[in-house]
Structure 1
Amino acid sequence: MTPRRVALVSGAARGQGLAIVRRLRADGLAVAACDIQADLLREAVAASADEEILALALDVTSESQWAEAVAATVERFGGLNALVNNAGILHRSPLEDETSDGFERLWRVNCLGAFHGMRAALPQLRAATDPVIVNTCSTGALRPFPNHTAYGSSKWALRGLTQIAAAELAPHRIRVNAVLPGAVSTPMLADDVQSRLAASMPARRLADPAEIADAVAFLVSGRATFITGAEITVDGGQSLFG
């Protein structure tokens, strides 16, 4: 019998992260769902009534909490095959109004968090069958969006970190890829912002979180075993039109 595969997903309490958890479970993976919003996460996992989902509180900026999350995952499920660094935060501010605290906060969550996750998971991934890391970047790492000083630069950095990790870990047969969503219909975007963005999209709508989850699931799956260093843009053609 093929051993069960195990994934850890950060930013999993709602929206895109929760959709990724559900999609990976549909593919038969056991999943450690992690989020700093512990109460919201526990409610979502309890509602699933699925014993193959483990809810873990995780502040991705904390190196020690990452170590605890990986250890708890391995204790519960016996190993770790896939890491999905999905946690991220967003605020908009022009360069002249951005603060040092605001800038650093986004970098700590959006880029440093993934760095901590990869380092914490690495010993387990080295021992795993078909180990893979998927980082959630953004189309904000493909082109400059005004008034996104902190967010955009943090996602550009995450994109670069993904590429470097892919090159460095390839000899260890650990695949590292990125998904670059455009605008997604999640609580991260206020309703008025979603309406404005949808009107500017070629498809006249935002992505459903499940559509991002499908791309992540493909990269995690056995259908992508020869893919590393890749970037899948899921934006309904938004990037084509600038």
Structure 2
Amino acid sequence: MFIKLSNAIALAVAIALAGGCATNDGYHKAFAAESAIKGNHQTFAAPLDQTFRAVKITLIRQGFTMESADPSSGLIKATRNFQDPVEKDVSYNIVATADVNAEDENSIVTIAASQQTILHREWHTWWKLLWIIPIFPTGTEYQTVVTKEGNVTDAAFYKDFFASVSTAVDASIAAAKAKALKLAAEKAEADAAAAAAVKAAAEAKAVAEAAAKAAAESAAESAAEPVAPTSDATQPVAPVVEGVSASPVVTPAQVDSTPAASAPAPAAAP
């Protein structure tokens, strides 16, 4: 018993010493220039909002599940479980984080991704004769094992991503231009209709003013013409002065209608 305990202590001390001598300090170079991921950033000649939307669309179209997307900070995080096209028992858990920032009138997209290679194991449990010879299966058991994990450093991965983002950005810019042209055409049409309405109203006003002016001139001419006396007009009456007998006023018509006084008859001849 003492010998076994001594052996265990010696083994533990050896492991501790080996661990102390072989220190793994590879993580110290995480920020070294040679550790930087190549080709994981690109500049786009597009506004920030359009580029941010294009990155989201690209990730969603490629089957990523959106975990967070914050336009104020420009950060997007998405994950995807990708089945290996050849080995059906292998899948990949991919986590991608993208940062979208504005630079003047352009946008800069930076992305980093990590992956886990997962092996899916399946085996059957058997009923065994004498605990040695398997006779028939009694069940199935499954197990997932992470065989590899780390950052994605493959340049082709990021090249394909930025190609998809560039296509989405171009489509977004084209859609924005088409919308702007449509709004400009609608505005021009509305302005033309308003100008036509103003012109029609001005013409109608001018016609109404001309008609009113003509009517006023006609009324003024009618008022300036003299009125001819009628035959049954009221005859003038001579004024009456006290103490003076008023002589009757004889009109020309009355003179003409009064019979002439008969002349004295000539004397008879002797």
In proportion to residue count, which structure has more strand? 2
Report the TM range for the smaller structure's normalisation.
under 0.3
Higher relative contact order (CA 8 A, sep 6+): 1
In our comparison, the structure showing a higher alpha carbon Rg is 2
Q: Greater helix share, 1 or 2? A: 1
> Normalization by structure 1: what TM-score?
0.17
